[in-house]
Amino acid sequence: MYRTKYKDMPIDIVGVVSNHETFREIVEFNGYKFHYLPIKDNKQKQEEEFHEIAIQSGTELIVLARYMQILSQDFVSKWSNNCINIHHSFLPSFKGSRPYHQAYDKGVKIIGATAHYVTEDLDEGPIIEQDVERVNHRDTAADMTRKGNTIESNVLAKAVRWHAEKKILLNGPKTIVFS
């Protein structure tokens, strides 16, 4: 939102869909529509509502940031190559949830983030952008998470920009990025 507000991102945000209320105030304060779609007993219904909101609002790209849900095959196929996820690890390492804690437990020396197109396979879509930062034995899992948040923000911004500027060419399971 920040980059868009200050004309540093060539996109128009048409709204935010979230399964948490956490960012409602900041989204609405910045003048964007906020749609709260909790996942309760019927995930399929929630995804159908998500898809309908996206279609009605003219969405061209779905950006998943902190969504932390596995999308159904049906949803993914509808948004193929138009849905970007930011994963808080340097894929293919530490897929799934709590990757910074996994990295801490393994004693890794670098952490990172990966922006990729969403596919039916969890955290395995074509990689658009990645970045890393060195960590050491003094860093806690919380330190790694804090450092990782900055990396994630920058990696996701680049991926969204390149997608909007049509600088990404899909080549099978890979991407070619004309940055």
Catalytic positions, written as ranges:
123
In total, the chain counts a number of residues equal to 179
Dist. CA 125–CA 60, nearest whole Å: 18
Could you give the 3-state DSSP secondary structure of residue 131?
A: strand
Dist. CA 121–CA 14, nearest whole Å: 27
| 92: its two tokens | 């293919």
176's CB contacts (< 8 A; 6+ apart) are 168, 169
Alpha helices in 31-85 (DSSP H): 43-56, 73-78
